[in-house]
Amino acid sequence: MRYMKHTRTYSILSIFIFLVNACGEPKTGTSKTKRPNLVFIMSDDHAYQAISAYSDHLIHTPNIDRIANEGMLFNNASVTNSICAPSRAVILTGKHSHLNGKIDNLSPFDTTNITFPQILQNSGYQTAMFGKLHFGNNPKGFDEFKILPGQGDYYNPKFITPKGDTTITGYVTDIITDLTLDWLKKRRRPDQPFLLMYLHKAPHRSWLPAERHYKEYTKKTFPLPKTLFDDYKTRGEAAKTAEMNILDHMVLNYDNKVLPGVIGELQIEDRKLHDPLKRMNASQKSAWDAIYNPINEEFKNAYPTMGDSTLMVWKYQRYMQDYLGTIAAVDENVGRLLDYLDDENLSDNTVVVYTSDQGFYLGEHGWFDKRFMYEESFKTPLLIRWPNKITPGTTSEEMVQNLDFAQTFLEIAGIIPPSDMQGKSLVPLLMGQKEKWDRDAVYYHYYEYPAEHAVKRHYGIATKKYKLIHFYYDVDEWELYDREKDPNETNNVYNNPEYAKIQLDMKLKLDTIRKKYKDSDSLSNGYLQLYKDKGWIKP
């Protein structure tokens, strides 16, 4: 086990509340045995555009959809910082990145942060985590865990466990589910409520589907997004200089599975990343080759006459085939878990959440990846089922965030949250009490720059109607979007006289929300200093 150096001091109040909560009895609600189980399902980079409860133009996900059909679909859920480990830190701590300290994928997680699983464990919940954490640390507050090291692998993945590392042969999404079901069947203690974190690696890059799915998905063709050929005309530098364009930055070998031999023969310059297929065994590789070698042959013949736009479309289709192919396995496996809960009569007293660590671009604005506060990576899927509490088939348009999970789970468990958590419990929304929800804006701050994909540092505020973003550090640029009139965000109206009043209002709101969440330029400068200290940027 690896734990990072403790660098943060506890707030006295949070220690006090933590100890009070740790005494074991729920503070409100019913007796301990009746407290609901919590199943938190999170995938990595799962775009809401690829869940049929949101839209079925790309894929059918009947099992994930079940959670919304039997519960609530959130149409306005977002993240506070659209990147993996920071999102997970926000979820666990209920605090924005600038306060929990995990601003990017590179910095260590400060393990003196108090997380909601620790609080639940101390109050009598049995806790388990299976799958991708991507933290650099082992999780605290879990009776049992088996997690992938770092990003993990799709085929024959290695797992970190408290007893040491182990490698399991097979396909990662199936294996994570097997581990989860094995725990439910053999080690769940029926006298205790449980928190189960079931965390998929899929559909993260480099998008390797299971054999049963690539056979089907490599034959499909998908509709093109409206903004595939976006020219970023009204934007500032950040959108123009980001390195996540499908045509220019998606890697033919690593991402599109074009063989190095074919790339060499065609004399194409391609970035060299590691071999995505390197962990496959001989039989997995030969099954793969049987499907992907003919695709390579076709590409070899077609490439010489392809112009840029044809190549863009070809790369987009290849991207979607593999990305969505990995989601097919996630959906099937979510179905296995839901069926198990039904079969064991656990569904009635179990809250099931499905979400992603952030959204993702599926060709919108010509992109893959995430990081920006623009819609597709800011918005994240969120579906929650809680039988007898949530009216089945309901939707919520309220602005909720990954920041809210910790307090939601604590309230469901009847525990008063530490006062320094910054989210809001979603319980009133789940119970249909919209009048008890008064949030009118959400805050966002992204830090990981300079880094892969070159998305500049920015912070911003979103209301239901508008979004104001400030890009800083090596630029000082503002963007304003009218979310209702311009849902695709192709028209930056900052400094447009028609929006002068709105611009002013949004700037004032941004100042207020930064104060409310305790973010500031001086904190941002401190986080920039970390990059300077490491020599990643000039002092």
Residue 96 or 371 with smaller CB distance to Ca ion: 371
Which two three-digit tokens encode residue 338? 């839901």
How do strand 466-471 and strand 477-482 relate by DSSP bridges? antiparallel
CB contact burial 327-345 (16+ within 10 A = b; e otherwise): bbbbbbbbbebbebbeeee
Give the one residue of 41, 84, 99, 410 binding ligand SGN; rule: CB under 6 A.
Answer: 84
Residue 154 or 198 with smaller CB distance to ligand SGN: 154
Site stretch for ligand SGN (CB under 6 A), options 19-27, 201-209, 298-306, 336-344: 201-209
DSSP string of 465-527, one letter each residue: SEEEEEE-SS--EEEEEETTT-TT-----TT-GGGHHHHHHHHHHHHHHHHHTT--HHHHHHH
Which two three-digit tokens encode residue 539? 């002092």
Report the nearest approach of Ca ion to the CB of residue 35 (Å).
Answer: 30
Site stretch for ligand SGN (CB under 6 A), options 200-208, 228-236, 306-314, 455-463: 200-208
Q: Find the binding residues for Ca ion in span 343-382 (CB under 5 A).
A: 357
Report the nearest approach of ligand SGN to the CB of residue 369 (Å).
Answer: 5
369 binds, among Ca ion, ligand SGN, none (CB under 5 to 8 A by kind): ligand SGN
Q: Does 330 bind Ca ion (CB under 5 A)?
A: no
Q: Within 13 Å of residue 78, how many CA atoms lie on the same side as its CB?
A: 27
Q: Find the binding residues for ligand SGN in span 324-363 (CB under 6 A).
A: none
Q: Does 84 bind Ca ion (CB under 5 A)?
A: yes
What whole-number distance in Å separates Cα of residue 73 and Cα of residue 392? 10
Q: Does 257 bind ligand SGN (CB under 6 A)?
A: no
Residue in 206, 213, 169, 222 with CA at minimum distance from that of residue 333:
213
Give the one residue of 38, 42, 77, 83 binding ligand SGN; rule: CB under 6 A.
Answer: 83
**Helix %, strand %, coil % of the chain (to 5):** 40, 15, 45
Site stretch for ligand SGN (CB under 6 A), options 14-22, 47-55, 69-77, 199-207: 199-207
Q: Does 385 bind ligand SGN (CB under 6 A)?
A: no
- Give 365's contacts (C-beta < 8 A, 6+ positions apart): 227, 230, 232, 239, 374, 376
230 binds, among Ca ion, ligand SGN, none (CB under 5 to 8 A by kind): none
Q: Does 453 bind ligand SGN (CB under 6 A)?
A: yes
What whole-number distance in Å separates Cα of residue 337 and Cα of residue 339? 5
Q: Which helix or strand (DSSP H or E) is residue 173 part of?
A: helix 172-186
273 binds, among ligand SGN, Ca ion, none (CB under 5 to 8 A by kind): ligand SGN
Could you list the residues that contact Ca ion (CB under 5 A)? 44-45, 84, 357
Q: Give me the residues that bind ligand SGN (CB under 6 A), please.
A: 44-45, 83-84, 105, 134, 151, 204-206, 273, 369, 452-453
